[in-house]
Amino acid sequence: MPLLEVKNLTKSFGGLIAVNNVSFSVDEGEIVGIIGPNGAGKTTLYNLITGYLKPDSGKIIFKGEDITGLSPNKIANKGLVRTFQIVRPFRHLPTIANILVSLNSPRGRKKIEWIKTPERKAMDMLEDVGLSDLMLEPAENLSHGDLKRLEIARAMALEPDLLLLDEPFGGLNPVETEYMVKTIQRIHLDGHTLVIVEHKLQALMKLVKRVLVMHYGEIIAEGKPEEIAQNKKVIEVYLGKAI
């Protein structure tokens, strides 16, 4: 049974169809990428899956359970966790406190091993993403690259079964990008299932085993990275019909 099943998901705003009858599934242990030009509906898709938007029609089944229409925090507590395209740290809190918020959720509190205190666990998570020195720094003072890593750490604190990353490489310089690639690879090797929406195709294609291509709210292609890179329709969509 697939970990996540999206069936015929549709959402429109006014007259504009943002997501048009999208269906796909993700198996446990997979690492899947979603690409597509701006406005293709990728973030809307995420918002639908994670409960921030209610679909007009369609179903979302996670671990065999129908989660369509549930609130975002309930979905997160079931193990379906997301990050945001534009970072959303808790600015007034120190870095470590950002993680502690996740650990204070019902899922976070369940999963803390009984030996470790939440503070200890949070420190470990920060170490995993390399933010240990900035532990007590208010989140508002962090650089963009650091904030991206904080997003990931905060999501990982919930020990997700499925992690949805929204443009994790956005705005990162080559060094930070490489570090992020390694971090994501490590998360995947640890056994987590990942779906990544991303524009930086080089970084993404290295990471994922399967790619979905979205355009105007529909999935227009699906397959291995090498296949997608050769797919005529995909190339057209990205570069325009001139070629």
Instruction: Enumerate binding residues for other proteins (CB under 8 A).
Output: 50, 52, 71-73, 76-77, 81-84, 88-94, 96-98, 100-102, 104-108, 117-120, 123, 135-136, 138, 154-155, 157-158
For other proteins, give the closer residue by CB, 97 or 205. Answer: 97
The terminus-to-terminus CA distance of the chain in angstroms comes to 41
* Residue whose pair of structure tokens reads 């999963």 in the numeric block: 111
Residue 62 bridge partners (DSSP):
4, 65
Written as six digits, the tokens of 217 are 């709210």
Q: Where are the alpha helices (DSSP H) in the chain?
A: 42-49, 72-77, 95-103, 106-111, 118-129, 144-156, 174-189, 201-207, 225-230, 232-239
Q: Where are the alpha helices (DSSP H) in 17-117?
A: 42-49, 72-77, 95-103, 106-111
Integer Cα distance of 137 and 60 in angstroms = 39
Residue (of 17, 11, 15) closest to 59 by Cα position: 11
For other proteins, give the closer residue by CB, 84 or 238. Answer: 84
Closest distance of CB 101 from other proteins, Å: 4
* Residue whose pair of structure tokens reads 């997608």 in the numeric block: 228
For other proteins, give the closer residue by CB, 71 or 230. Answer: 71
Closest distance of CB 62 from other proteins, Å: 14
For other proteins, give the closer residue by CB, 90 or 216. Answer: 90
Closest distance of CB 83 from other proteins, Å: 8
Closest distance of CB 184 from other proteins, Å: 18
Closest distance of CB 126 from other proteins, Å: 11
Residue 232 bridge partners (DSSP):
none
For other proteins, give the closer residue by CB, 41 or 89. Answer: 89
Closest distance of CB 92 from other proteins, Å: 6
Closest distance of CB 76 from other proteins, Å: 4
For other proteins, give the closer residue by CB, 38 or 242. Answer: 38
For other proteins, give the closer residue by CB, 33 or 108. Answer: 108
The SS3 of residue 161 is coil
Handedness of CA 70, 72, 76, 81 (dihedral sign): positive
